[in-house]
Amino acid sequence: MRIGLGKGLAAVVVAGLVALSAAAQAQQAPIMIKGQPYEYDKDNAQDVMRICAGCHGELGNGGGGGAYPRLGGLNADYLAEQMRKFKSRERENIPMIPFAVDRELSERDVLDVTRYLSEIKLDTKPPANMPADGYARLQIMKKVLQIPREPGDAEAGKAFYAADCGPCHGNKGQGRLKKPALAPQFIPYLKTQVDSFLSGKRQHDDIEIMKARSPEEWKNLWAFLSSLQD
Ligand code: HEC
Ligand code: HEC
Protein backbone atom coordinates (compact mmCIF):
# COMPACT_ATOMS: atom_id res chain seq x y z
CA MET A 1 0.00 0.00 0.00
CA ARG A 2 2.98 2.30 0.29
CA ILE A 3 3.74 4.55 -2.66
CA GLY A 4 6.20 7.46 -2.93
CA LEU A 5 8.41 8.79 -0.10
CA GLY A 6 12.07 7.97 -0.60
CA LYS A 7 13.56 5.95 2.25
CA GLY A 8 15.63 8.86 3.54
CA LEU A 9 12.69 11.21 3.71
CA ALA A 10 10.52 8.51 5.24
CA ALA A 11 13.15 8.00 7.96
CA VAL A 12 13.22 11.73 8.73
CA VAL A 13 9.42 11.83 8.87
CA VAL A 14 9.29 8.78 11.12
CA ALA A 15 11.98 10.22 13.41
CA GLY A 16 9.99 13.46 13.65
CA LEU A 17 6.79 11.59 14.44
CA VAL A 18 8.54 9.52 17.09
CA ALA A 19 9.88 12.67 18.76
CA LEU A 20 6.51 14.42 18.53
CA SER A 21 4.57 11.55 19.98
CA ALA A 22 7.11 10.66 22.68
CA ALA A 23 5.26 12.76 25.24
CA ALA A 24 1.90 11.28 24.31
CA GLN A 25 3.31 7.78 24.44
CA ALA A 26 4.71 8.34 27.91
CA GLN A 27 1.11 8.53 29.11
CA GLN A 28 -0.48 6.02 26.75
CA ALA A 29 1.00 2.72 25.61
CA PRO A 30 1.45 2.69 21.82
CA ILE A 31 -0.66 0.41 19.65
CA MET A 32 1.58 -2.49 18.60
CA ILE A 33 1.29 -4.20 15.23
CA LYS A 34 3.38 -7.35 14.77
CA GLY A 35 5.73 -6.15 17.50
CA GLN A 36 6.16 -2.66 16.01
CA PRO A 37 4.65 0.50 17.51
CA TYR A 38 2.00 1.97 15.20
CA GLU A 39 2.44 5.52 13.87
CA TYR A 40 -0.17 7.31 11.76
CA ASP A 41 0.91 7.56 8.11
CA LYS A 42 -1.26 10.07 6.27
CA ASP A 43 0.29 9.33 2.85
CA ASN A 44 -0.67 5.69 3.23
CA ALA A 45 -4.14 6.73 4.40
CA GLN A 46 -4.59 8.74 1.20
CA ASP A 47 -3.40 5.79 -0.91
CA VAL A 48 -5.90 3.50 0.78
CA MET A 49 -8.64 6.14 0.38
CA ARG A 50 -8.36 5.81 -3.39
CA ILE A 51 -9.92 2.35 -3.10
CA CYS A 52 -12.70 3.56 -0.83
CA ALA A 53 -13.45 6.72 -2.79
CA GLY A 54 -14.99 4.76 -5.69
CA CYS A 55 -17.94 3.91 -3.48
CA HIS A 56 -17.80 6.22 -0.43
CA GLY A 57 -16.57 9.39 -2.15
CA GLU A 58 -13.21 11.14 -1.93
CA LEU A 59 -14.17 12.73 1.40
CA GLY A 60 -16.13 9.79 2.72
CA ASN A 61 -19.39 11.63 2.02
CA GLY A 62 -21.14 8.47 0.78
CA GLY A 63 -23.83 8.39 -1.85
CA GLY A 64 -25.46 6.09 -4.36
CA GLY A 65 -28.84 7.13 -2.98
CA GLY A 66 -27.70 5.96 0.45
CA ALA A 67 -26.29 2.58 -0.64
CA TYR A 68 -22.85 3.82 0.47
CA PRO A 69 -22.77 5.32 3.95
CA ARG A 70 -21.11 8.56 4.88
CA LEU A 71 -17.83 7.76 6.67
CA GLY A 72 -16.21 11.23 6.91
CA GLY A 73 -16.21 12.57 10.45
CA LEU A 74 -17.30 9.29 12.08
CA ASN A 75 -15.37 8.11 15.14
CA ALA A 76 -12.08 6.40 14.20
CA ASP A 77 -12.45 3.55 16.71
CA TYR A 78 -15.98 2.83 15.48
CA LEU A 79 -14.84 2.79 11.84
CA ALA A 80 -11.84 0.55 12.58
CA GLU A 81 -14.01 -1.87 14.55
CA GLN A 82 -16.47 -2.15 11.64
CA MET A 83 -13.59 -2.82 9.22
CA ARG A 84 -12.42 -5.65 11.46
CA LYS A 85 -15.97 -7.02 11.57
CA PHE A 86 -16.09 -6.98 7.75
CA LYS A 87 -12.76 -8.79 7.62
CA SER A 88 -13.88 -11.50 10.06
CA ARG A 89 -17.31 -11.64 8.31
CA GLU A 90 -18.99 -11.00 11.65
CA ARG A 91 -20.69 -8.18 9.73
CA GLU A 92 -21.68 -9.07 6.20
CA ASN A 93 -20.74 -6.62 3.44
CA ILE A 94 -20.73 -8.23 0.04
CA PRO A 95 -19.56 -5.20 -2.01
CA MET A 96 -16.56 -4.77 0.30
CA ILE A 97 -15.42 -8.41 0.42
CA PRO A 98 -12.64 -7.94 -2.19
CA PHE A 99 -11.16 -5.07 -0.12
CA ALA A 100 -11.80 -6.25 3.40
CA VAL A 101 -9.26 -9.07 3.54
CA ASP A 102 -5.86 -8.91 5.24
CA ARG A 103 -3.94 -9.26 1.98
CA GLU A 104 -5.62 -6.14 0.60
CA LEU A 105 -6.03 -4.14 3.77
CA SER A 106 -3.62 -4.66 6.67
CA GLU A 107 -4.34 -3.59 10.25
CA ARG A 108 -2.00 -0.64 9.61
CA ASP A 109 -4.08 0.37 6.57
CA VAL A 110 -7.25 0.10 8.66
CA LEU A 111 -5.84 2.35 11.40
CA ASP A 112 -4.50 4.88 8.87
CA VAL A 113 -7.61 5.18 6.71
CA THR A 114 -10.06 5.27 9.62
CA ARG A 115 -8.07 8.02 11.35
CA TYR A 116 -7.95 9.97 8.08
CA LEU A 117 -11.72 9.60 7.60
CA SER A 118 -12.47 10.61 11.19
CA GLU A 119 -10.64 13.92 10.70
CA ILE A 120 -12.72 14.99 7.68
CA LYS A 121 -15.24 17.72 8.47
CA LEU A 122 -18.36 17.63 6.30
CA ASP A 123 -20.88 20.46 6.10
CA THR A 124 -24.63 19.99 5.80
CA LYS A 125 -25.21 23.19 3.82
CA PRO A 126 -23.35 25.01 1.05
CA PRO A 127 -21.82 28.29 2.26
CA ALA A 128 -23.86 31.47 1.71
CA ASN A 129 -21.20 32.96 -0.59
CA MET A 130 -20.38 30.43 -3.27
CA PRO A 131 -17.48 31.28 -5.58
CA ALA A 132 -18.41 31.94 -9.22
CA ASP A 133 -15.71 29.57 -10.51
CA GLY A 134 -17.17 26.16 -11.44
CA TYR A 135 -14.21 24.10 -10.25
CA ALA A 136 -14.08 25.87 -6.88
CA ARG A 137 -17.83 25.31 -6.47
CA LEU A 138 -17.40 21.62 -7.20
CA GLN A 139 -14.67 21.30 -4.56
CA ILE A 140 -16.91 22.96 -1.96
CA MET A 141 -19.92 20.81 -2.85
CA LYS A 142 -17.86 17.64 -2.31
CA LYS A 143 -17.78 18.55 1.37
CA VAL A 144 -21.51 19.12 1.60
CA LEU A 145 -23.60 16.21 2.75
CA GLN A 146 -27.31 16.81 2.24
CA ILE A 147 -29.69 14.14 3.47
CA PRO A 148 -33.06 14.06 1.66
CA ARG A 149 -36.00 14.62 4.02
CA GLU A 150 -38.21 11.66 4.89
CA PRO A 151 -41.98 11.99 5.23
CA GLY A 152 -43.58 11.49 8.67
CA ASP A 153 -44.21 13.20 12.00
CA ALA A 154 -40.76 14.44 13.02
CA GLU A 155 -42.04 15.66 16.41
CA ALA A 156 -43.32 12.19 17.32
CA GLY A 157 -40.07 10.73 15.99
CA LYS A 158 -38.15 13.07 18.26
CA ALA A 159 -39.89 11.68 21.36
CA PHE A 160 -39.15 8.08 20.28
CA TYR A 161 -35.54 9.01 19.55
CA ALA A 162 -35.02 10.90 22.84
CA ALA A 163 -36.40 8.01 24.90
CA ASP A 164 -34.72 5.07 23.20
CA CYS A 165 -31.77 6.17 21.05
CA GLY A 166 -30.49 9.55 22.26
CA PRO A 167 -28.93 8.19 25.47
CA CYS A 168 -26.37 6.30 23.36
CA HIS A 169 -26.27 8.04 19.97
CA GLY A 170 -26.46 11.61 21.36
CA ASN A 171 -29.52 13.89 21.50
CA LYS A 172 -28.78 15.31 18.04
CA GLY A 173 -27.61 12.01 16.56
CA GLN A 174 -24.01 13.21 16.76
CA GLY A 175 -22.77 9.87 18.14
CA ARG A 176 -20.43 9.17 21.01
CA LEU A 177 -17.25 7.08 20.82
CA LYS A 178 -18.14 3.67 19.38
CA LYS A 179 -21.83 4.56 19.25
CA PRO A 180 -21.96 5.91 15.72
CA ALA A 181 -23.44 9.20 14.56
CA LEU A 182 -26.90 8.70 13.05
CA ALA A 183 -27.10 12.25 11.66
CA PRO A 184 -26.26 13.33 9.11
CA GLN A 185 -26.35 9.84 7.60
CA PHE A 186 -28.27 8.49 4.61
CA ILE A 187 -31.65 7.20 5.81
CA PRO A 188 -31.84 4.28 3.32
CA TYR A 189 -28.51 3.09 4.75
CA LEU A 190 -29.76 3.38 8.35
CA LYS A 191 -32.99 1.56 7.48
CA THR A 192 -30.99 -1.34 6.01
CA GLN A 193 -28.98 -1.52 9.24
CA VAL A 194 -32.10 -1.59 11.42
CA ASP A 195 -33.52 -4.39 9.23
CA SER A 196 -30.24 -6.28 9.77
CA PHE A 197 -30.47 -5.74 13.54
CA LEU A 198 -34.09 -6.91 13.63
CA SER A 199 -33.32 -10.04 11.61
CA GLY A 200 -30.23 -10.81 13.71
CA LYS A 201 -27.82 -10.41 10.77
CA ARG A 202 -26.00 -7.62 12.62
CA GLN A 203 -25.80 -7.25 16.41
CA HIS A 204 -27.22 -4.29 18.37
CA ASP A 205 -27.66 -3.84 22.13
CA ASP A 206 -31.19 -3.86 23.60
CA ILE A 207 -32.79 -5.16 20.41
CA GLU A 208 -36.12 -5.47 22.27
CA ILE A 209 -36.53 -1.67 22.26
CA MET A 210 -36.36 -1.76 18.45
CA LYS A 211 -38.76 -4.70 18.13
CA ALA A 212 -41.32 -2.92 20.32
CA ARG A 213 -41.88 -0.10 17.80
CA SER A 214 -44.49 -0.07 15.02
CA PRO A 215 -43.78 0.75 11.34
CA GLU A 216 -45.52 4.11 11.89
CA GLU A 217 -43.18 4.94 14.79
CA TRP A 218 -40.15 4.02 12.69
CA LYS A 219 -41.37 6.22 9.87
CA ASN A 220 -41.54 9.13 12.32
CA LEU A 221 -38.06 8.34 13.63
CA TRP A 222 -36.62 8.58 10.10
CA ALA A 223 -38.48 11.85 9.55
CA PHE A 224 -36.86 13.19 12.72
CA LEU A 225 -33.33 11.96 11.90
CA SER A 226 -33.53 13.39 8.37
CA SER A 227 -34.52 16.77 9.83
CA LEU A 228 -31.48 17.08 12.11
CA GLN A 229 -29.23 18.73 9.56
CA ASP A 230 -31.17 22.00 9.28
C1 HEC B 1 -17.47 -1.55 -3.94
C2 HEC B 1 -17.96 -0.51 -3.06
C3 HEC B 1 -17.23 -0.25 -1.76
C4 HEC B 1 -15.88 0.01 -1.59
C5 HEC B 1 -14.79 0.08 -2.64
C6 HEC B 1 -15.71 0.26 -0.19
N7 HEC B 1 -16.91 0.17 0.47
FE8 HEC B 1 -17.23 0.47 2.44
N9 HEC B 1 -19.21 -0.02 2.24
C10 HEC B 1 -19.81 -0.35 1.04
C11 HEC B 1 -21.22 -0.65 1.29
C12 HEC B 1 -22.25 -1.07 0.27
C13 HEC B 1 -21.43 -0.47 2.69
C14 HEC B 1 -22.74 -0.66 3.46
C15 HEC B 1 -22.88 -2.08 3.89
C16 HEC B 1 -24.14 -2.33 4.67
O17 HEC B 1 -25.22 -1.99 4.17
O18 HEC B 1 -24.04 -2.82 5.78
C19 HEC B 1 -20.14 -0.08 3.25
C20 HEC B 1 -19.94 0.18 4.60
C21 HEC B 1 -18.74 0.60 5.14
C22 HEC B 1 -18.53 0.90 6.55
C23 HEC B 1 -19.56 0.84 7.67
C24 HEC B 1 -20.02 2.23 8.02
C25 HEC B 1 -20.89 2.29 9.26
O26 HEC B 1 -21.44 3.38 9.54
O27 HEC B 1 -20.99 1.30 9.98
C28 HEC B 1 -17.21 1.26 6.68
C29 HEC B 1 -16.50 1.65 7.96
C30 HEC B 1 -16.61 1.20 5.36
N31 HEC B 1 -17.56 0.80 4.45
C32 HEC B 1 -15.30 1.54 5.10
C33 HEC B 1 -14.69 1.41 3.84
C34 HEC B 1 -13.29 1.69 3.61
C35 HEC B 1 -12.31 2.23 4.64
C36 HEC B 1 -13.06 1.40 2.29
C37 HEC B 1 -11.73 1.47 1.55
C38 HEC B 1 -10.70 0.59 2.07
C39 HEC B 1 -14.32 0.95 1.71
N40 HEC B 1 -15.28 0.98 2.69
C41 HEC B 1 -14.50 0.58 0.39
C42 HEC B 1 -19.21 -0.38 -0.19
C43 HEC B 1 -17.87 -0.16 -0.45
C1 HEC C 1 -27.14 1.00 24.67
C2 HEC C 1 -26.66 1.94 23.66
C3 HEC C 1 -27.49 2.06 22.39
C4 HEC C 1 -28.82 2.40 22.26
C5 HEC C 1 -29.84 2.68 23.37
C6 HEC C 1 -29.08 2.48 20.84
N7 HEC C 1 -27.95 2.20 20.13
FE8 HEC C 1 -27.78 2.07 18.11
N9 HEC C 1 -25.85 1.47 18.28
C10 HEC C 1 -25.16 1.30 19.46
C11 HEC C 1 -23.83 0.76 19.17
C12 HEC C 1 -22.77 0.44 20.21
C13 HEC C 1 -23.76 0.60 17.77
C14 HEC C 1 -22.60 0.01 16.97
C15 HEC C 1 -22.85 -1.47 16.79
C16 HEC C 1 -21.69 -2.19 16.13
O17 HEC C 1 -20.57 -2.12 16.66
O18 HEC C 1 -21.88 -2.78 15.08
C19 HEC C 1 -25.03 1.07 17.23
C20 HEC C 1 -25.33 1.11 15.88
C21 HEC C 1 -26.52 1.59 15.36
C22 HEC C 1 -26.80 1.73 13.94
C23 HEC C 1 -25.85 1.44 12.80
C24 HEC C 1 -25.20 2.74 12.34
C25 HEC C 1 -24.18 2.58 11.25
O26 HEC C 1 -23.51 3.57 10.93
O27 HEC C 1 -24.03 1.48 10.70
C28 HEC C 1 -28.07 2.22 13.83
C29 HEC C 1 -28.84 2.51 12.56
C30 HEC C 1 -28.58 2.38 15.18
N31 HEC C 1 -27.62 1.99 16.08
C32 HEC C 1 -29.84 2.86 15.47
C33 HEC C 1 -30.34 2.98 16.74
C34 HEC C 1 -31.71 3.43 17.03
C35 HEC C 1 -32.71 3.84 15.97
C36 HEC C 1 -31.84 3.40 18.37
C37 HEC C 1 -33.09 3.71 19.18
C38 HEC C 1 -34.25 2.87 18.85
C39 HEC C 1 -30.58 2.93 18.94
N40 HEC C 1 -29.70 2.70 17.93
C41 HEC C 1 -30.32 2.79 20.30
C42 HEC C 1 -25.63 1.60 20.72
C43 HEC C 1 -26.95 1.94 21.04
Average pLDDT score, the chain: 89
**180 and 110 in one domain?**
no
What pLDDT does 10 receive?
A: 56
- pLDDT greater than 80 at residue 27: no
**106 and 167 in one domain?**
no
**161 and 114 in one domain?**
no
Q: Is 83 annotated as a binding residue?
A: no
- pLDDT greater than 80 at residue 1: no
pLDDT per position as a tens digit, 41-94: 999 999 999 999 999 999 999 988 899 999 999 999 999 999 999 999 999 998
Centroid of chain to Cα 55: 13
**31 and 100 in one domain?**
yes
- pLDDT greater than 60 at residue 3: no
**86 and 21 in one domain?**
yes
The whole domain housing 186 covers 154-227
**29 and 97 in one domain?**
yes
Number of domains in the chain: 2
What are the backbone angles phi and psi of residue 32, rounded to the nearest 5°?
Answer: -105, 135
The reported pTM is 0.89
**Which atom of ligand 1 lies at the shortest distance from residue 117's CA?**
35
The predicted model gives 172-182 an average pLDDT of: 96
Please report the DSSP string for 96-139 in residue order: GTTTSSTTTS-HHHHHHHHHHHHT---BSS--SS--S-HHHHHH
Q: Quick check: is 131 in a domain?
A: no
**36 and 111 in one domain?**
yes
pLDDT per position as a tens digit, 97-122: 888 887 889 999 999 999 999 999 99
Quote the ligand 1 centre to 17 CA distance (angstroms). 30
Q: How confident is the model at residue 184 (pLDDT cuts 50, 70, 90)?
A: very high
Q: Quick check: is 33 in a domain?
A: yes
CATH number of the structural domain spanning residue 209: 1.10.760.10
**Which atom of ligand 1 lies at the shortest distance from residue 114's CA?**
35
- pLDDT greater than 90 at residue 216: yes
Quote the ligand 2 centre to 168 CA distance (angstroms). 7
**175 and 90 in one domain?**
no
Q: Quick check: is 132 in a domain?
A: no
Least confident of 29-38, 112-121, 196-205: 29-38
**109 and 194 in one domain?**
no
Q: CA separation (Å) from 35 to 31, 32, 51, 79, 164? A: 9, 6, 27, 23, 42
Please report the DSSP string for 144-196 in residue order: B--PPPPPS-HHHHHHHHHHHTHHHH-TTS--BTTB---TTS-HHHHHHHHHH
Q: Quick check: is 192 in a domain?
A: yes
Q: How confident is the model at residue 219 (pLDDT cuts 50, 70, 90)?
A: very high
Q: Quick check: is 1 in a domain?
A: no
Q: Quick check: is 146 in a domain?
A: no
What pLDDT does 34 receive?
A: 87
Q: Quick check: is 35 in a domain?
A: yes
Q: Is the CB of 181 under 6 A from ligand 1?
A: no
Domain boundary at 118, 142, 172, which? Answer: 118
Q: What percent of the chain has pLDDT over 90?
A: 71
Domain boundary at 118, 134, 166, which? Answer: 118
**158 and 112 in one domain?**
no
**Which atom of ligand 2 lies at the shortest distance from residue 185's CA?**
26
What pLDDT does 5 receive?
A: 46
Among the bound ligands, name the one nearest to the CA of residue 111.
1
Q: Residues lining ligand 2, judged by CB closer than 6 Å? A: 69, 81, 164-165, 167-169, 178-180, 182, 190, 193-194, 204-206, 209-210
Quote the ligand 1 centre to 32 CA distance (angstroms). 25
**177 and 85 in one domain?**
no
Quote the ligand 2 centre to 22 CA distance (angstroms). 36
**177 and 98 in one domain?**
no
Q: Quick check: is 125 in a domain?
A: no
Among the bound ligands, name the one nearest to the CA of residue 45.
1
